[in-house]
Structures are given as structure tokens and as C-alpha cells.
């Protein structure tokens, strides 16, 4: 979301400091992330000019940045009443409506913004994101293409194209566009500045290749499958990876140096993030390598967790592991995370215990779940991925939203049913109920209601049949 | 108000506070220096014996002002206050005698009886045990233990002591036989109980308590005609005894003759001071009116009964204590700490506990009756042991801190098995209490509000099934206001405090469940009614038991449940108690704001139909 374009500041009004000046400073503060100071100035400006639309609009942006969407909406809607044809306001309120899940309002605002400013690449960019979320990939692609026709180096539009293309399975072009991900404003830096080249996939014998376990835990687990392919071309590798994923990477690349501090980084000839490997590998939908299982639970841990589970649910009770929320900082968390209460239909299965693997703040919901099946909150006792893997070995099925636990189950070849939002992450492709990335996974996709409860009801009904077919009936 | 009056002790002893409840033991002069007061004490005793209470009182107050530990003066003043019905002062005085002279059997006996009378069984037990320590061959010491243990729901221990009395006294005292009969009744041994009542009444036909106990026993055994016959005998002995009408009303109520029952109680009211019934009678009347659909009158009776009970007992919700306890438990039981605290090792050589948790009146008795209809499950009833363990833990773990902080000792090399000791304490007591039975691999513990200690229970018994009975909070409130119970720090003495305590405990349960993996199953009372078999199967699966159809006809379970629900659980499962609050929505308005978030969290609603 962007604030006012230069030159659109309101006319000066005689106050102690001219309003235009206050507004300009507030705008600058907002641009440079000094949100609280900007908000203070805007409050001051609003006292002098309560009906100045630019001020109201900026106040709306600041409220949005301060995670007060309702207040942001009220301010922006007021600005739009005063200035109904302000394309900038419409472009921004489009994004605000989208984040609030009001997708039709977002579309109407976005389309009006575009009609008023047909050559605004950001309006097109916002619309591309919106169409993706509405699961309208063709429209999303068209908007991204139009934005790039106006501004060819707009990183966000390239990345949006990548997401749509990959979602559609057009991987050749998709992976190329995916490389724009580090150039998006505000994207985290992959590594400290370096003069070494990005690896091109060619043989690199005798020198060290640095791999970076980038992005979320799920991405690391998904793309770690390429490490053996890398080792065939570059036998000497070192990996920059967080303490959480290091034990997983060690399973795939035993004996390889894995470090957490850049100070420990050995000399290297080239680098590559794990998420860049599919492009170098030339992966297409039909050539996705899926050498499962490529992660395995430690036998001693499995024994320990099996004993713990036997304490909590008598043998013979079917165990379904669940997770209902991902990392709250994920930019699509609002859509991909469910509430534990949505899992009520699974709790209605007879002779079943739900095993929660949920970590983080969302785990507190376990305290307020009153389904008919017992909920075993193992999340409170899990310390690392090795625990999670061991538990996955002890349960009959995992039913989960799109989190790293799903990737773990997939990499282990354990049965898991993945609950996907209406517009899923690109890696789950379109329409299909399976995934070439992980043969043991089955995908459940939200319908247009965008709700998890009916999806989980469907999963529960199928679980009943699935257990009857593959396991003994309780 | 004079200065002297202003400093008088609040207990009503007539002494200054500094010489009574606020006494600093260091300020008590040595006995030798107050020897000159002995003649005054003797004069007080003399005056009291000769009926000159005013003189005796004045002498005692004078002596105790100078020597507040003089046992003779304390004793006489105690007798005077007790005779005047000032139990608060009497208790303070006799407590002081016991404090200064711990081996005084007479005072220990008096204090224990006082505590028994006001329902403070926990402290009563301490003094009853002291009585046995002081005089191990005194029949009355064992009688005290028999009474306390029977009331504290450890009737098997009570029975042991009553039988010791029989041996030590060398005779079959009719009152003792009646006490033992009551003890056997609470164990559901009705035939033995009846035989003892018959023997007791044959020897002493005119003892009111005996006849009343017998009538109650017959009522509990559903022998309503027999109960009425015994009451008729009692009426000949003591026509004015208000318990006759109350017990008759209860029996009539169980027979469905509500009009007659209410008429009886109304007739009784005329005989009470001010034309008002006592607290028990008032609640019984409310329950009868509720059955008759006269809800406004019923609720008014409930509120009246509660107000009167507060007035008479002085018991009110221990708000600050409850709030502090909950805060300490929340603070201690966190995932980080629980990850590094040990757990007791499960014992495989003994039957396993099944904990039935829930607020009083939420349906725990129903669940216990259902489970214990299974041949592999013995009934433990309300076992006070988890509470006991929280008390003895500091000693058992040699901790300078109280529970729960005392659990930090488990990190010490020489205390890491401490939980095994506490677990064994529990199991040993269970055995002593006669809970275990042949062929049963499980036994139940349905002490209400044990969920307050969910964390501790799961540490002591990591494999034990925890069945939490959930019910519409407003229905629980209706039950709480229409019955007397002391659980939950006297929260049920008023509607608002019952709601407050319920929310506190449920929030605490949420906390435990979010911080640790528990073998926990919520069972809805409403599901037990609407889908009995489904709920029973879910519970049996959860415990690890095969389905047994006898669990569906739990009302045929011959076991007698001693709690207030006993009359209900001997009936078939009925839906009369489901959503009963809808008749009382207007009356429950004060607690709806307190309960609403919880009502929604539990998946219920506040809705008139």
C-alpha cells in the first residue's frame, strides 16, 4: 500500500505550521517506517482539518500499518466520500478490503482505481494479487502482464506472475520469474553482501558451494530434496541453516558443515538458496523429484513418544494428528490458518483421539476445545522437529492446514491430509487432490465459501471410510 | 461507644482482642506469676456450678485479662458462651485451651465436636487424630474419628474406629450402634445398617437422632413406607422435632407427592421463629416448588435458604484465597516447567484411578454411577486425597515452600522420586478406605473440583483417564443455588460467587490443557441424556474398557451414591434437569455477564428455548 504521490499535498492552511508541511513530514515518516510519529502528526493535522481527504487517507494508511483495520477502513471510506474519484485512495482501499477478506468490495475498488488511472502499475499489481486470492489465475496473470508492460522492472508484478505460473504448473517460466523474490521491497536479505556468483548449476568440483536454507521451515523441507542432486555436481557444500532445520539437513547431507552464524561461513566459490534449486534442476510438474522418504524419525524418539501416546490414549484408539495454524507472520496466514474449533467434525469420529502437534500462540486454543474425542496436546511437550517426526510415526493420519508439519509428513512418506485455503500456495497447483511433491499427501481444497469447517467435515467423512478400508473398524 | 467496648474481641468472648483472638503468646505471663489468681478461678467454677452465670462470667473475664491462658477460666467462659449459643466465641475459647494445653482430651473432644457441627471436617480430622494420640484406648477418641471419617467420606476408616469403640467400651451402646449404622448406610450396606438401627432402637427406643438416621437410611434405600413408619415413631417421641416434617417432605417429594410435601413444610414454618423455615428446609421447599413448575417461588426459596445459611454459619466465599490460589497454580504449571518436571512412574500392580472431574452438581455422580456399573470399575466416590496431598506435599518433599511451589524439590537429586511417594500415599489411602474391589482394574475418584489440581493429578498419574463433566453453566448455577455444598471455598453460598469460582476453575482447566498433554475427555451432561450410548461408549473407549450394556442401566447400580445427587441417579436418565435454567433466566441475570464468555466457549448459548 502506498501513500500520496508527490505533488498532491493539500494547500497550506494557516496553522502554527502550515498543514501542507505537517502532512509532508507525516508522509515522510510513514514512508520511512516511523509510524507512531507519523500518526501523532496526522492526529494534529486532523484537528485542524478534519475533512481534508488526503489527511484522512494517510491516517487510514497509518491505522492499517498499526494493525487497526476497522479504523483504517472508516478513515479511508470517509476520504473517499470527500474525494470519490481519488484513484490512489481506491487503489489502497482495494488492498485493505482484500486483507479484510471483502474480496468483492476489493475488486470493485480496484477496478475503479484502474479505470481512473489506467496506467498505474501499482493498481494493476494490487489487482493481480487480488485475483490470485480470488483464485482467478488468468485475470491475475493478465493484470501482472499489464503492470509489467508499463513498468518492466516492477518486482512485485514479476513475483505475482511467478506465483500464478507455478500454480498453473507452467514451471519453466515460473521459476525464472520466481527469482524476483529477493528484489521485492522489504524482502529479507538472503545473506550478507558478497562478490561471489550465484551458482548456475554447473559442475563445481574442488570448490565449496554455499547453500542457504532460506524462507520458511516448510520450504526448507520441500527443497532439501535437491541436495543429493547438488552433491552430484558440487561435492563440497556448506549450508547456512537455522538451528531448527539443521538436524533435518544433517539427515539428508551427513557430514556437511551446517552453520548458523555468518562468521562461521567457510570460504566458498558460489552460493545458491535452496529455493533456487528447482530452477537450476529444471524441474517440471512431471519431473519433480520425490525420493520419499528422505526424512526419517529417530527410532529411540519414536519409542519414547509411542510410550507417551500409549499413556494418553489406550491402544486401539485411532490417533489423528492435527495442526490448525501456521506461523502468524506468514503473509497468507489469515487464509491458511484455521481455528481448532473447526476440527470439531474430526472429533466426532468414534474411538478416535486427536493428537495436537500445534506450537505457538495458536496452541492455547487446545485449552478451550470441547469436542467428543479427547485432544492430546502434545504440542506442549514437543521441543523440535525430531519430536514431531517421531510422533508422526506413531499416528494413523495427519490432518493439517498448510504448515511445515505437512512437509515433514510428506518427506517421511507418512499419510497426511492437507487443508488448503481457496487460493493455495503455488506449490499445491490447481484442482488436483494429490501432489507430485509428496506422494503420501492428499489435498482438500476450500470451496467458494472459503471456510474450513465444511472442508474438515468432508475430511472427517472420508476419514471414516478410509479407516474402514485400510484399518480395522473400531 | 466506650474505648473498652471498642477494643473487645470480635468473636464475642467478652475479652479484649489483645487478650483473646489477637493474643500474642509472648505476652502471656508465666504461670507462677499468676498463681494468686487460682482462688478466683475456683470461685468462678463454683459460681458456674451453682447457676450464678453472671458472677462466673465476671470472674473469668477478670482472670483472663491478667492470665489469658488459665485453663479453668477459659473452660468456664467457654461453657457459658456455648450455653448461650455464641459458638464463635466458644470455638475461640476452646481453641485457646487446646493451644495452651495440647494434651487436654476434654478440650480436644469439645473442639472436634464443634468443628464437626459446623462442617469443618479438615480441621476436625486433625483434632480427632490428636484425641486418639492423647488417649488411644479411650472409646470417645475413636468415636470422634468414626464420626469425622464417616462425614469426610472415608466411611471404611470410620467403621474401623467405631468397631474399636465397641471393643474398648465392652458394650453395645445404642448411640454408637446408630453411628455405625449411619456409617454403613453411607457405604451402601443397607441391610447391615438396618439391623444395627433395629438393635439400637430396641435398646433405646426414644433417641431422636437414631430414629431420624434410620428414616433417612430407609429413604435412601427407596423404602419410603418404612421411612414413614420410622418417622411416625419419632413423632411419638418428639412431636415438635422439625426434622420430622423435613424428612417427611423429602420422602413425599421422592414419591412425587409434591403438594403434600410443600404443605408439610409450610406447616413447619409456622413453628419456626418468625415463621421462617431453616436453610435446609427452605432449599427442600424450593426444589419441590421447582418440580411443581412454580419457578418464581422456587428461586425465592433458594435465595432465602442461601441467605439464612450464610447468616447461621458465617461462611462466605473465600474470594481472595481462591484468586490467589488460581494465580499461583497458573504461574507454576507452565509448559516450560512441566517439560523438565518428572512424572510418577505408573504402578502396574494395583487398580488404576479414573478421575471424574467437574463442578459440584455438574453430573459427576451420574458419570460415576455409569462407569461403576461396569464390573471392572470400583466406585471410590469423593476421595479427599488429592486435596490431602496438596497439604502434606511440603512435608513429604521436605520443602520450605507450599504447594505448588514445593514441586520444585523434584529437581533435587534426593527428591526426584518424590512423586512416586505421593502416588503411593494416594494408593495406600485408597486401599485403606476400602475402595478397591475384587475383579476391578479401575476405581473412580469423583471429588468435585479436583480439576483445580489437574496438573498435579497428571504428574502423579500420567496414565489416568481424566473425565471432565461439562454442563450448561446456567444449569450448574441453578443446581448450585438449590443445594448446599461447601466445595470450592464456600463459593455456593451465593449465586455470584458460585459463578465466579466456576469461571476461575474453568479458566484454570483451559490453562492446564494448553500447557500440558493430558489424558482428558470432556463429557457433556446433555450428551449423556440425548445420546447415552454414544457417550458411554466414548467414555469406555477412553478408559480402555469393553462396552458393557449394564452401564446404560446405571440406575439399577445397587451402589449408594452419598452425594446430593443420589435421589436423581437412582432414577432412569431423564431430561428434566437439562436446560432447567431456561425457567430461571430472569433470576440468573446477575451471573449471565460473568458466565457468558465461558458459556460461548463451551458451545452453549443463553437462550430461552
**Integer angstrom CA distances of residue B262 from B225, B266, B540:** 19, 6, 41
SS3 A461: helix
Cβ pair B537:A378 closer than 8 A: no
| CB atoms inside a 10 Å sphere around CB B284 | 26
B377 touches chain A (CB under 8 A): no
ipTM passes above 0.90: no
Element (H, E) at A355: strand A352-356
pLDDT profile of chain A (474 residues), mean per 10: 50 62 81 83 82 88 90 93 93 94 95 95 95 96 96 95 97 96 86 94 93 94 97 96 95 95 94 97 96 96 95 88 88 85 93 94 93 92 95 96 97 97 96 97 96 96 85 47
Question: Rounded mean pLDDT of chain B?
Answer: 90
SS3 B356: strand
A115 touches chain B (CB under 8 A): no
Chain-centre distance of CA A436, in angstroms?
20
Structural domain tally of chain B?
Answer: 1
For B309, the grid coordinates are 445459611
Question: What would the DSSP string read from start to end of A325-377?
Answer: ---TTSTTHHHH---GGGGHHHHTSTTEEEEE---SGGGGGGGG---SS-EEE
A170 touches chain B (CB under 8 A): no
Express each pLDDT in B490-541 by its tens digit.
899 999 999 999 999 999 999 999 999 999 999 999 999 888 999 999 999 9
Residue B565 has pLDDT above 70, yes or no: no
Q: Helix B242-254 to helix B224-237 angle, to the nearest 10 degrees?
A: 170
**Integer angstrom CA distances of residue A152 from A115, A163, B593:** 21, 17, 59
Q: Is residue B28 part of a domain?
A: no
A473 touches chain B (CB under 8 A): no
| CB atoms inside a 10 Å sphere around CB B411 | 12
Closest alpha carbon to B454 in B439, B437, B468: B468
Closest chain A residue to B334 measured between Cα atoms? Answer: A380
**Integer angstrom CA distances of residue B98 from B10, B91, B101:** 20, 11, 5
Angle at the Cα of A445 from the Cα atoms of A103 and A168, rounded to 5 degrees: 80
Instruction: For residues A367 and A46, give the distance between their C-alpha atoms in angstroms, rounded to a whole number.
Output: 44
Q: Which chain B residues are closer than 8 Å to A474 by Cβ?
A: 541
A378 touches chain B (CB under 8 A): yes
Cβ pair B515:A380 closer than 8 A: yes
Cβ pair B514:A366 closer than 8 A: yes
**Average pLDDT of B453-472?**
96
Cβ pair A372:B514 closer than 8 A: no
- Is the CA virtual torsion B140, B145, B148, B149 positive or negative? negative
A360 touches chain B (CB under 8 A): no
Total beta-carbon pairs less than 8 A apart between chain A and chain B: 80
**H-type helices in A215-343, by residue range?**
217-223, 227-233, 246-252, 277-281, 299-312, 333-336
Decide if B409 contacts B415 (C-beta within 8 A): yes
**Residue whose entry in the numeric block shows the C-alpha cell 431430561:** B575
Lay out the sheet containing A209-212: strands in order across: A257-259, A237-240, A209-212, A270-273
B336 touches chain A (CB under 8 A): no
A370 touches chain B (CB under 8 A): yes
Q: Is residue B594 part of a domain?
A: yes
A350 touches chain B (CB under 8 A): yes
pLDDT at B576: 62
Angle at the Cα of B523 from the Cα atoms of B519 and B524, rounded to 5 degrees: 155
Nearest Cβ partner for A377 among B513, B543, B602: B513
Contacts of B341 (CB under 8 A, 6+ apart): B407, B410, B411, B459
Q: Which domain holds residue B498?
A: 319-339+352-382+448-601
pLDDT at B571: 55
**Average pLDDT of B216-240?**
92
B61, burial (CB in 10 Å: exposed 0-12, middle 13-18, buried 19+): middle
Closest alpha carbon to B178 in B195, B161, B191: B195
**Integer angstrom CA distances of residue A15 from A6, A25, B272:** 22, 15, 81
B563 touches chain A (CB under 8 A): no
CA distance A10 to chain B (A): 47
Q: Which chain B residues are closer than 8 Å to A312 by Cβ?
A: 463, 517-519
Residue B232 has pLDDT above 80, yes or no: yes
Whole-prediction pTM = 0.81
Q: Which chain B residues are closer than 8 Å to A381 by Cβ?
A: 335, 338-339, 516-517
Cβ pair B510:A368 closer than 8 A: yes
Cβ pair A308:B517 closer than 8 A: yes
Which CATH superfamily hosts domain A299-470?
A: Glycogen Phosphorylase B; (3.40.50.2000)
CA distance A75 to chain B (A): 31
Element (H, E) at B466: strand B466-470
CATH assignment at residue B528: 3.40.50.300
Closest alpha carbon to A399 in A321, A319, A338, A313: A321
Express each pLDDT in B425-458 by its tens digit.
999 999 887 888 888 999 999 999 999 999 999 9
Question: What would the DSSP string read from start to end of A130-176?
Answer: HHHHTT-HHHHHHHHHHHHHH-TT-HHHHHHHHHHHHHTT-HHHHHH
CATH-assigned architecture of domain A19-183: Alpha Horseshoe (1.25)
* Confidence category of residue B570, pLDDT binned at 50, 70, 90: low
pLDDT at A4: 47
For A2, the grid coordinates are 502506498
Q: Which chain B residues are closer than 8 Å to A374 by Cβ?
A: 519-521, 542
Nearest Cβ partner for A364 among B463, B514, B521: B514
DSSP A24: H
pLDDT at A24: 82
DSSP B30: P
| CB atoms inside a 10 Å sphere around CB A110 | 26
* Confidence category of residue B2, pLDDT binned at 50, 70, 90: very low
Residue B299 has pLDDT above 50, yes or no: yes
pLDDT at B241: 86
Instruction: For residues B9 and B588, give the distance between their C-alpha atoms in angstroms, rounded to a whole number.
Output: 39
For B169, the grid coordinates are 467400651
A423 touches chain B (CB under 8 A): no
Say which residue, A24 or B91, is predicted with more confidence. Answer: B91
Cis, bond preceding A293 (omega within 30 deg of 0):
yes
Q: Which chain B residues are closer than 8 Å to A368 by Cβ?
A: 510, 513, 601
Contacts of B130 (CB under 8 A, 6+ apart): B102, B108
Nearest Cβ partner for A367 among B339, B510, B544: B510
Decide if B193 contacts B181 (C-beta within 8 A): yes
Residue ranges covered by each domain of chain A:
19-183, 209-282, 299-470
Terminal C-alpha separation, chain B: 57
A307 touches chain B (CB under 8 A): no
Decide if B561 contacts B458 (C-beta within 8 A): no
Decide if B338 contacts B515 (C-beta within 8 A): yes
Express each pLDDT in B358-388 by its tens digit.
998 888 988 998 999 999 999 988 898 999 9
Cis, bond preceding B404 (omega within 30 deg of 0):
yes
B586 touches chain A (CB under 8 A): no
Closest alpha carbon to B180 in B164, B205, B167, B163: B163
A390 touches chain B (CB under 8 A): no
Cβ pair A363:B470 closer than 8 A: no
Residue B463 has pLDDT above 50, yes or no: yes
Q: Which chain A residues are closer than 8 Å to B521 by Cβ?
A: 374
CA distance B598 to chain A (A): 9
Q: Is residue B86 part of a domain?
A: no
Strands B520-524 and B466-470: parallel
pLDDT at A8: 53
Beta bridge partners of B354: B444
Element (H, E) at A408: helix A404-412
A316 touches chain B (CB under 8 A): yes
DSSP A419: E
CA distance B57 to chain A (A): 59
CB-facing half-sphere around the CA of B97: CA atoms within 13 A:
24
Element (H, E) at B470: strand B466-470
pLDDT at A178: 95
Lay out the sheet containing A375-377: strands in order across: A375-377, A352-356, A318-323, A397-401, A416-420, A441-445
CA distance B533 to chain A (A): 12
**Integer angstrom CA distances of residue A8 from A5, A27, A42:** 6, 11, 16
DSSP B347: P
**Integer angstrom CA distances of residue B217 from A39, A118, B119, B245, B484:** 75, 90, 20, 16, 20
| Ramachandran bin of A200, using left for φ above 0, alpha for ψ from -120 to 50, beta for the remaining angles | alpha
pLDDT at B3: 41
Amino acid at each position: 500500500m502506498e501513500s500520496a504521490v508527490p505533488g498532491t499535498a493539500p494547500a497550506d492552511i494557516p496553522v502554527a505550521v502550515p498543514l501542507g508541511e505537517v502532512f509532508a513530514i507525516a508522509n515522510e515518516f510513514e514512508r520511512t517506517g516511523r509510524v507512531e510519529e507519523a500518526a501523532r502528526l496526522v492526529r494534529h493535522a486532523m484537528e485542524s482539518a478534519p475533512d481534508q481527504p488526503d489527511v484522512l487517507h494517510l491516517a487510514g494508511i497509518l491505522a492499517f500499518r498499526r494493525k487497526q483495520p476497522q479504523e483504517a477502513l472508516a478513515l479511508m471510506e470517509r476520504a473517499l466520500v470527500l474525494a470519490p474519484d481519488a484513484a490512489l485512495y481506491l487503489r489502497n482501499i482495494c488492498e485493505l478490503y482484500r486483507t479484510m477478506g471483502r474480496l468483492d468490495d476489493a475488486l470493485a475498488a480496484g477496478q475503479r482505481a484502474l479505470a481512473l488511472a489506467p496506467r498505474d502499475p501499482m493498481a494493476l499489481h494490487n489487482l493481480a494479487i487480488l485475483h490470485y486470492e480470488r483464485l482467478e489465475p488468468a485475470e491475475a496473470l493478465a493484470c501482472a502482464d499489464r503492470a509489467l508492460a508499463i513498468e518492466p522492472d516492477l518486482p512485485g508484478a514479476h513475483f505475482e506472475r511467478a506465483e500464478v505460473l507455478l500454480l498453473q504448473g507452467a514451471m519453466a517460466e515460473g521459476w525464472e520469474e520466481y527469482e524476483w523474490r529477493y528484489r521485492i521491497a522489504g524482502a529479507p536479505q538472503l545473506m550478507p553482501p558478497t562478490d561471489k556468483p550465484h551458482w548456475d548449476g554447473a559442475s563445481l568440483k574442488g570448490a565449496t558451494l554455499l547453500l542457504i536454507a532460506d524462507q520458511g521451515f516448510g520450504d526448507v523441507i520441500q527443497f532439501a530434496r535437491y541436495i543429493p542432486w547438488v552433491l552430484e555436481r558440487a561435492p563440497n557444500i556448506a549450508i547456512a541453516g537455522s538451528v531448527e532445520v539443521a538436524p533435518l539437513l544433517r539427515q539428508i547431507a551427513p557430514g556437511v558443515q551446517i552453520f548458523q552464524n555468518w562468521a562461521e561461513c567457510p570460504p566458498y566459490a558460489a552460493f545458491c538458496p535452496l529455493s533456487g534449486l528447482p530452477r537450476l534442476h529444471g524441474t517440471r510438474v512431471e519431473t519433480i523429484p520425490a525420493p520419499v522418504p528422505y526424512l526419517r524419525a529417530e527410532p529411540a524418539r519414536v519409542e519414547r513418544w509411542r510410550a507417551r501416546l500409549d499413556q494418553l490414549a489406550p491402544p486401539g484408539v485411532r490417533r489423528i494428528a492435527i495442526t490448525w495454524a501456521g506461523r502468524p507472520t506468514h503473509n497468507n496466514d489469515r487464509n491458511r490458518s484455521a481455528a481448532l474449533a473447526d476440527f470439531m467434525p474430526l472429533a466426532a469420529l468414534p474411538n478416535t483421539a486427536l493428537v495436537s502437534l500445534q506450537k505457538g500462540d495458536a496452541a492455547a486454543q487446545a485449552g478451550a476445545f470441547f469436542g467428543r474425542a479427547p485432544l492430546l496436546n502434545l504440542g506442549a511437550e514437543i521441543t523440535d522437529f525430531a519430536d514431531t517426526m517421531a510422533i508422526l510415526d506413531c499416528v494413523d493420519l495427519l490432518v493439517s492446514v498448510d504448515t511445515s508439519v505437512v512437509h515433514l509428513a510428506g518427506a517421511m512418506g507418512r499419510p497426511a491430509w492437507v487443508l488448503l485455503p481457496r487460493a493455495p500456495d503455488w506449490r499445491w497447483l490447481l484442482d488436483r487432490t494429490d501432489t507430485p511433491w509428496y506422494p503420501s499427501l492428499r489435498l482438500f481444497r476450500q470451496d467458494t465459501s472459503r471456510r474450513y469447517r465444511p472442508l474438515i467435515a468432508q475430511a472427517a467423512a472420508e476419514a471414516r471410510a478410509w479407516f474402514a478400508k485400510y484399518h480395522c473398524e473400531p | 461507644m466506650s474505648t473498652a467496648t471498642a477494643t473487645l474481641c470480635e468473636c464475642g468472648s467478652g475479652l479484649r482482642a489483645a487478650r483473646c483472638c489477637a493474643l500474642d503468646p509472648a505476652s502471656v505471663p508465666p504461670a507462677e506469676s499468676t498463681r494468686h489468681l487460682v482462688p478466683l478461678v475456683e470461685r468462678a467454677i463454683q459460681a458456674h456450678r451453682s447457676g450464678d452465670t453472671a458472677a462466673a462470667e465476671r470472674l473469668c473475664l477478670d482472670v483472663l485479662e491478667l492470665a489469658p491462658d488459665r485453663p479453668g477460666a477459659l473452660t468456664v467462659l467457654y461453657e457459658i458462651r456455648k450455653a448461650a449459643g455464641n459458638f464463635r466465641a466458644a470455638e475461640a475459647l476452646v481453641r485457646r485451651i487446646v493451644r495452651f494445653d495440647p494434651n487436654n482430651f476434654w478440650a480436644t473432644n469439645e473442639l472436634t465436636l464443634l468443628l464437626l457441627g459446623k462442617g469443618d471436617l479438615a480441621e476436625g480430622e486433625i483434632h480427632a487424630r490428636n484425641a486418639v494420640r492423647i488417649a488411644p484406648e479411650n472409646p470417645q477418641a475413636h468415636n470422634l474419628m468414626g464420626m469425622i471419617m464417616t462425614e469426610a467420606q472415608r466411611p471404611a476408616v470410620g467403621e474401623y474406629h467405631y468397631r474399636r469403640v465397641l471393643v474398648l467400651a465392652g458394650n453395645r451402646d445404642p448411640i454408637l450402634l446408630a453411628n455405625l449404622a449411619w456409617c454403613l448406610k453411607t457405604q451402601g450396606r443397607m441391610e447391615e445398617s438396618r439391623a444395627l438401627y433395629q438393635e439400637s432402637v430396641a435398646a433405646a427406643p426414644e433417641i431422636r437422632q437414631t430414629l431420624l438416621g434410620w428414616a433417612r437410611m430407609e429413604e435412601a434405600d427407596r423404602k419410603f413406607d418404612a421411612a414413614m413408619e420410622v418417622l411416625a415413631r419419632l413423632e411419638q417421641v418428639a412431636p415438635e422435632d422439625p426434622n420430622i416434617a423435613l424428612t417427611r417432605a423429602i420422602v413425599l417429594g421422592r414419591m412425587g407427592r409434591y403438594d403434600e410435601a410443600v404443605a408439610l413444610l409450610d406447616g413447619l414454618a409456622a413453628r419456626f421463629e418468625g415463621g421462617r423455615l431453616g436453610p435446609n428446609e427452605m432449599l427442600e421447599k424450593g426444589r419441590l416448588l421447582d418440580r411443581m413448575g412454580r419457578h418464581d417461588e422456587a428461586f425465592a426459596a433458594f435465595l432465602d435458604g442461601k441467605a439464612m445459611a450464610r447468616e447461621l454459619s458465617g461462611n462466605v466465599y473465600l474470594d481472595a484465597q481462591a484468586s490467589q490460589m488460581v494465580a499461583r497454580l497458573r504461574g507454576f504449571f507452565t509448559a516450560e516447567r512441566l517439560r523438565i518436571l518428572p512424572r510418577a512412574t505408573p504402578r502396574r500392580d494395583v487398580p488404576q484411578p479414573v478421575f471424574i472431574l467437574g463442578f459440584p452438581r455438574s453430573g459427576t455422580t451420574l458419570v460415576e454411577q455409569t462407569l461403576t456399573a461396569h464390573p471392572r470399575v470400583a466406585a471410590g466416590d469423593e476421595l479427599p486425597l488429592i486435596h490431602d496431598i496438596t497439604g502434606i506435599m511440603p512435608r513429604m518433599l521436605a520443602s520450605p515452600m507450599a504447594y505448588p511451589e514445593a514441586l520444585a524439590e523434584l529437581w533435587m537429586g534426593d527428591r526426584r522420586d518424590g512423586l512416586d511417594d505421593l502416588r503411593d500415599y494416594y494408593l495406600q489411602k485408597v486401599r485403606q478406605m476400602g475402595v478397591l474391589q475384587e475383579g476391578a482394574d479401575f476405581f473412580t475418584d469423583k471429588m468435585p473440583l479436583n480439576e483445580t489440581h489437574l496438573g498435579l493429578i497428571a504428574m502423579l498419574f500420567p496414565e489416568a483417564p481424566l473425565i471432565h463433566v461439562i454442563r450448561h453453566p446456567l444449569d450448574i448455577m441453578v443446581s448450585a443455588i438449590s443445594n448446599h455444598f461447601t466445595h470450592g471455598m464456600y463459593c455456593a453460598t451465593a449465586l455470584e460467587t458460585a459463578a465466579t469460582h466456576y469461571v476461575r476453575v474453568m479458566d484454570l482447566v483451559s490453562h492446564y490443557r494448553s500447557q500440558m498433554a493430558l489424558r482428558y475427555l470432556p463429557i457433556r451432561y446433555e450428551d449423556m441424556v440425548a445420546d447415552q450410548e454414544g457417550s458411554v461408549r466414548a467414555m469406555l473407549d477412553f478408559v480402555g474398557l469393553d462396552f458393557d450394556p449394564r452401564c446404560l442401566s446405571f440406575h439399577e447400580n445397587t451402589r449408594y451414591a452419598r452425594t446430593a445427587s443420589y435421589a436423581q441417579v437412582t432414577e432412569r436418565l431423564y431430561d428434566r434437569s437439562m436446560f432447567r435454567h431456561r425457567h430461571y433466566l430472569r433470576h440468573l441475570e446477575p451471573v449471565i455477564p460473568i458466565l457468558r464468555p465461558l458459556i460461548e466457549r463451551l458451545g452453549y448459548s443463553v437462550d430461552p428455548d
